[in-house]
Chain A
Amino acid sequence: MIAILLATSALASAASLLLGRFLCRRGAGWLLALVPVGLFVGLLRFYGTIEAGHTVTERLAWAPSLGVELTLRLDGFAYLFCLLVTGVGALVVIYADAYLVERSPAERARFLALILFFMTAMLGTVLADNLLVLFLFWEATSLFSFLLIGFDVDSPSARRSALMALHVTAGGGLALLAAILLIGVTLGSYSLTDVTQRAPELARSPWIVPILAGVFIGAFTKSAQFPFHFWLPNAMQAPTPASAYLHSATMVKLGIYLLARFEPVIGAVPGGRDTLIAVAMVTMLVAAFQAVRAENHKTVLAYSTVASLGILVMLVGLDGPMASVATVGFLLAHALYKATLFFCAGTVIHATGLTKLRHMGGLWRFLPVTAVASVLASLSMAGLPPFLGFVSKEFLFEAQIQSSWDAVPMAVAVLVNAVMVGVAGVVTLRPFFMGRGRVLGVRHREVVGLLLGPMILALLGLIISLEPTWVDRAVLRPAVTAIYGQPVEVRAGLWHGVTPMLLLSAAVVGIGVLLFVYWVPIHYRLRTLTRLDRYDAEHAYEALQRRIRATARVIAGRLQQGDLRDHLGVIFTTAAAFVVWGLITAGQGLRLPTELGTMRAGPAALALVGLAGGLAATGARSLLAAMIATGLTGLVAALTFLLNGAPDLALTQFAVESLVVVLLTAALLALPLAAPTTRSRRARSRDAVLAAGLSVLLFAALLDMSAAPQHTVAAEFFGARSYVEAFGRNVVNVILVDFRGFDTLGETTVIALSAIIAWSLLGPRMPLDGGSGGARRSVFVLAFASPLFYWLLAALSMVALLRGHNEIGGGFVGGLIAALAFAIVALTHGVDRARTKLRCHPLTLAGFGLLLAVVSGLPGLVAYGDYLRHIWVELNVFGIHVKQGTTLLFDLGVYLAVLGTVLAFLFGLTREVES
Chain B
Amino acid sequence: MSVLYAFVAAGLFGCGLYMVLSRHIVRMVLGLSLLTTAVNLALFQAGRIRTAQPPLIVEGAERLGESADPVPQALVLTAIVIGFALTVILAALTLRAWRSDGTLRSDELRSAQDLGDPLAPGPDVDH
Asked whether, in the complex, the Cβ of B104 is within 8 Å of the Cβ of A675, the reply is yes
A569: chain B residues at CB < 8 Å are 21
Q: How many Å lie between the Cα of A667 and that of B113 in the bound state?
A: 26
Residue A720 is within 8 A (CB to CB) of chain B in the complex: yes
B19 to chain A, nearest CB (A): 6
The verdict on A652 contacting B77 (CB below 8 Å), with A630-B34, A757-B89 known, is: yes
Contacts of B55 in A (CB 8 A): 645, 719, 730-732
Interface size on A, residues (CB 8 A): 116
On whether the beta carbons of A604 and B1 are closer than 8 Å, the reply is: yes
Cβ–Cβ contact B26 & A715, under 8 A: no
Interface string of B22-46 (1 = CB under 8 A from A): 1110111011011001101110111
B107: nearest chain-A partner, CB-CB: A563
> Chain B 1-18 against A: per-residue CB contact (8 Å), 1 yes, 0 no?
111111111111111111
Report B-chain residues with C-beta under 8 Å of the C-beta of A660.
33, 84, 87-88
A157 at interface, CB cutoff 8 A: yes
> Could you mark each residue 880-915 of chain A with 1 if its beta carbon is under 8 Å from any beta carbon of chain B, else 0?
000000000000000000100100010011001000
Does A644 contact B52, Cβ atoms closer than 8 Å? yes
Which label, helix, strand, loop or mixed, suits the secondary structure of the A interface? helix
Residues of B within 8 A of A679 (CB): 21-23
Proximity bits, A618-662, B CB within 8 Å = 1, else 0: 100001001100100110010011011111110011001001100
A705 within 8 A of B: yes
> Which of the residues A640, A663, A905 comes within 8 Å of B5, measured between beta carbons?
A640
Is A611 engaged at the interface, CB distance under 8 Å to the other chain? yes
Q: How many residues of B contact A (CB 8 A)?
A: 93
Say what secondary structure dominates the interface of chain B.
helix
Q: Are A568 and B21 in contact (CB under 8 A)?
A: yes
Q: How far is the CA of A569 from the CA of B28 in the complex (A)?
A: 13
Interface check A692, CB cutoff 8 A: yes
Given A663-B91, A667-B95, A675-B24 in contact, is the A645-B113 Cβ separation under 8 Å? no
Nearest Cβ distance between residue A51 and chain B, in whole angstroms?
45
Which of the residues B11, B57, B69, B81 comes within 8 Å of A614, measured between beta carbons? B11
| Given known A637-B41, A732-B55, contact A623–B26 (CB-CB < 8 A) | yes
A695 lies within 8 A of B11 (CB):
yes
A731/B57 contact (C-beta < 8 A), A597-B1, A675-B26, A702-B6 known: yes
Taking CB atoms, residues of chain A closer than 8 Å to B87 are 660, 664
Instruction: Name the CB-closest residue of B to A626.
Output: B30
Residues of B within 8 A of A157 (CB): 123, 125, 127
Determine if A735 and B74 form an interchain contact, defined as CB atoms under 8 angstroms apart: yes
The interface residues of chain B lying within 8 Å CB-to-CB of A378 are none
List A contacts of B34 (CB < 8 A): 614, 617, 630, 633
A806 → chain B closest CB, angstroms: 8
Are B63 and A723 interface neighbours, CB within 8 A?
A: yes
Q: What mask results when residues 79 to 114 of chain B are scored 1 for a CB within 8 Å of chain A, else 0?
A: 011111111110111111010000011110010010
Chain B residues near A751 (CB, 8 Å)? 81-82, 85
A667's partner among B1, B8, B27, B94 (CB-CB below 8 A) is B94
13 contacts between A and B (CB under 8 A): A160-B125, A299-B127, A565-B21, A572-B21, A633-B12, A648-B77, A663-B88, A671-B94, A691-B15, A715-B70, A723-B63, A729-B57, A735-B71
* B interface residue numbers (CB < 8 A to A): 1-24, 26-28, 30-31, 33-34, 37-38, 40-42, 44-59, 61-64, 67-71, 73-74, 76-78, 80-89, 91-96, 98, 104-107, 110, 113, 122-123, 125, 127
CB within 8 Å of B: which residues of A?
156-157, 159-160, 233-234, 236, 296, 299, 562-565, 568-569, 572, 593, 596-600, 603-604, 607-608, 610-611, 614-615, 617-618, 623, 626-627, 630, 633-634, 637, 640-641, 643-649, 652-653, 656, 659-660, 663-664, 667-668, 670-672, 675, 677-679, 687-688, 690-692, 694-696, 698-699, 702-703, 705-706, 710, 712, 714-715, 718-720, 722-724, 729-732, 735-736, 740, 743-744, 747, 750-751, 754, 757-758, 761-762, 807-808, 810, 812, 816, 898, 901, 905, 908-909, 912
A-B interface, 6 closest residue pairs, ranked by CB to CB distance from nearest: A719-B64, A695-B14, A645-B68, A678-B23, A699-B10, A702-B6
